[in-house]
């Protein structure tokens, strides 16, 4: 076996300086910026084919990860597009693995923030170079369509990682390495101390991945913890292991080249049928937890893992208030795409559409509540009328629970648009479903207060637009939400909706009719989540996301004569 080429980590500080500076600037200025191209052609003419070929090499084999304390192999992923992947991953003796991760921490801590940041950016750079490979892994574990799998699973997820690294570096740079403290004592000699300040990681971080966006949701906490000096144990969803396994493998490779222990990042996979997330979460070695998923388990983590700082992104009921519009066609098209993208399997997708029961005013005249519902159904059918185009937007349903949820939702009210099954031209076993629209009785309907994850949307009649805005405020406070929207030609209504969003703590989009959608979030610019409502406290918005991942320990001693 060829000897591993060792590259001094210090060399990477200069190599990645411009990228890090760009992230720091973008985080502050909040404009558009990205170092990672989002189109496959930017990675070479053969990038997509090479990515597929790399993906194929993983199938029906042991994943190539030489990890400490491996005692077996596990993994039972099945692609939503119909094939069993047959990949197995190392199952660890966690007593031994966690001990090794803790032993690796001191040297990583002592390397300092600039070296850690350079190593982490080298990992991200190599992940980026393999974006097409990661995209295939994302597509065949989540059901995302190819374009979304490439963008959201690749460059956009990497952007989110770099955004988090930028926040973390900025916070750690605020801490001086040392200081001389001198306090005057009148006629007596001053008190003089030399002080040293060391950034100290909190401990082993556990990232619990989700099955729909394993990289996009997993990367911010993973890379924020790592750059702050914490070893990271990555526990993917059992349905979507491969994208994070590739990331871990790249991370371990880079760490070794830089002269650090590969056990600063490790993969946690259970034996077949074993559920390990809860067991790992309460271990005393675990000091940080990042989790995206159900409110039930998120609440459990917050309650039962007191030894750790817990960041959760949980269920929410996203809402759009429709009052009026000067671009009815554009509004309907925007809403249709929002409800259809990845079959609504996004934490940001709108569920409840609040409409005055008397209807809305538009550039096409007054539209009754019933007419609006019929027109939105028509816009969805027009968008998804061609099966090939529809599958490129919808992707595939990620699990049987969502299919059951679609059937159940159609019994909750009057069906305005029934979900239909589409035959995928390339993957006949894929479960592809169009959205269903159901009209409820009003904001007080119990169905409007529960997240129905998947291609399910409710038309909710309200007594007035003011009542819709009140329902937005009250619903987000009670049930949580990641996104909210409003359509109105009246400035006072827009201001009232913004006030309600501020009161409830939810991001608001106003009058989106073009190529930007309420369920999209741009790294470095959009503040994804607010941590101000029950949808979770994992908002990547400010120093609060990164500062709990490290502490500052000081050492002080009397200054010797002649110093200073």
- Pairing assessment for the beta strands 319-322 and 352-356 based on DSSP bridges: parallel
How far is the C-alpha of 251 from the C-alpha of 29, rounded, in Å? 30
Whole-angstrom CA distances from 39 to 132, 146, 151, 299 are 10, 11, 7, 38
Q: What is the CATH number of domain 9-314?
A: 3.40.605.10
pLDDT at site 541: 62
Q: What is the CATH number of domain 319-510?
A: 3.40.309.10
The first and second tokens of residue 413, run together, are: 């009210």
How far is the C-alpha of 369 from the C-alpha of 460, rounded, in Å? 9
* Local structure of residue 342 (DSSP, 8 states): G
Which strand (E) or helix (H) includes residue 403? helix 400-409
Alpha helices, DSSP H only, in 9-112? 9-15, 17-29, 47-58, 94-103, 105-110
Nearest to 24 by CA among 161, 124, 170, 155: 170
The radius of gyration of the chain's CA atoms, rounded to the nearest angstrom, is: 25
Q: Which residues pair with 46 in a beta bridge?
A: none
* pTM above threshold 0.85: yes
Q: Which residues pair with 233 in a beta bridge?
A: 206, 266
Task: Classify the phi-psi angles of 395: left when phi > 0, otherwise alpha if psi is within -120 to 50, otherwise beta.
Answer: left
The first and second tokens of residue 130, run together, are: 């393999």
Domain range annotation of the chain:
9-314, 319-510
How far is the C-alpha of 110 from the C-alpha of 124, rounded, in Å? 22
Beta-carbon contacts of 232 under 8 Å, excluding residues fewer than 6 positions away, are 204, 205, 206, 207, 222, 225, 226, 264, 265, 266
Contact 352, 518 (CB under 8 A): no
pLDDT at site 1: 39
Nearest to 333 by CA among 562, 120, 161, 487: 487
pLDDT at site 2: 46
* Local structure of residue 448 (DSSP, 8 states): G
* 3-state DSSP assignment of residue 165: helix
Averaged pLDDT of the chain:
95
Residues (pLDDT < 70) of the chain are 1-7, 541, 561-564
How far is the C-alpha of 47 from the C-alpha of 42, rounded, in Å? 9
């Amino acid at each position: 076996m060829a000897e591993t080429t060792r590259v001094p980590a210090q060399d990477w500080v200069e190599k990645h300086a411009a990228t890090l500076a760009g992230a720091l600037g973008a985080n502050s200025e909040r404009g558009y910026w990205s170092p990672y191209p989002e189109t496959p052609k930017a990675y070479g003419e053969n990038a997509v084919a090479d990515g597929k070929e790399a993906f194929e090499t993983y199938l029906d084999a042991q994943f190539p990860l030489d990890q400490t304390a491996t005692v077996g192999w596990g993994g039972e992923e099945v692609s939503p597009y119909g094939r069993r992947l047959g990949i197995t991953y190392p199952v660890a003796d966690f007593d031994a693995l966690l001990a090794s991760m803790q032993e690796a921490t001191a040297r990583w801590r002592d390397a300092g923030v600039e070296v850690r940041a350079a190593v982490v950016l080298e990992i991200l750079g190599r992940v980026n170079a393999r974006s097409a490979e990661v995209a295939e892994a994302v597509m065949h574990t989540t059901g995302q369509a190819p374009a979304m799998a490439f963008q959201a699973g690749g460059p956009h997820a990497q952007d989110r990682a770099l955004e988090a690294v930028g926040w973390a570096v900025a916070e750690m740079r605020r801490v001086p390495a040392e200081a001389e403290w001198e306090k005057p004592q009148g006629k007596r000699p001053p008190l003089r101390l030399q002080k040293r300040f060391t950034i100290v990681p909190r401990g082993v971080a556990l990232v619990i991945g989700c099955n729909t966006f394993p990289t996009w949701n997993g990367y911010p906490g993973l890379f924020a913890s790592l750059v702050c000096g914490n070893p990271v144990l990555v526990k993917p969803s059992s349905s979507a292991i491969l994208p994070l396994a590739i990331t871990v493998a790249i991370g371990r490779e880079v760490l070794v080249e830089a002269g650090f222990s590969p056990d600063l990042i490790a993969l946690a996979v259970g034996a077949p049928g074993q559920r390990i997330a809860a067991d790992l979460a309460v271990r005393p070695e675990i000091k940080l937890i990042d989790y995206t998923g159900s409110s039930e388990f998120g609440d459990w983590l917050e309650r039962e893992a007191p030894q750790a700082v817990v960041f959760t992104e949980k269920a929410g009921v996203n809402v759009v208030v429709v009052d009026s519009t000067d671009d009815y066609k554009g509004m309907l098209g925007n809403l249709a795409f929002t409800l259809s993208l990845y079959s609504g399997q996004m934490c940001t997708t709108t569920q409840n559409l609040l409409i005055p029961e008397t209807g809305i005013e538009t550039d096409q005249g007054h539209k009754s509540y019933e007419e609006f519902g019929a027109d939105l159904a028509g816009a969805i059918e027009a968008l998804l009328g061609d099966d090939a185009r529809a599958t490129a937007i919808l992707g595939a349903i990620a699990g049987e629970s969502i299919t059951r949820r679609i059937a159940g939702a159609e019994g909750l009210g009057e069906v305005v648009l029934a979900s239909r099954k589409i035959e995928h031209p390339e993957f006949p076993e894929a479960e592809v479903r169009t959205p269903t629209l159901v009209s409820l009785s009003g904001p007080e309907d119990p169905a409007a207060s529960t997240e129905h994850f998947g291609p399910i949307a409710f038309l909710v009649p309200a007594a007035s637009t003011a009542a819709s805005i009140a329902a937005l405020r009250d619903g987000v406070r009670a049930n949580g939400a990641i996104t909210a929207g409003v359509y109105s030609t009246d400035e006072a209504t827009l201001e009232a909706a913004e006030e309600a969003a501020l009161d409830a703590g939810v991001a608001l989009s106003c009058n989106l009719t073009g190529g930007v959608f309420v369920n999209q979030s741009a790294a470095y610019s959009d503040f994804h989540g607010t941590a101000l409502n029950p949808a979770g406290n994992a908002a990547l918005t400010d120093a609060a996301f990164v500062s709990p991942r490290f502490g500052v320990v000081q050492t002080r001693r009397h200054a010797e004569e002649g110093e200073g």
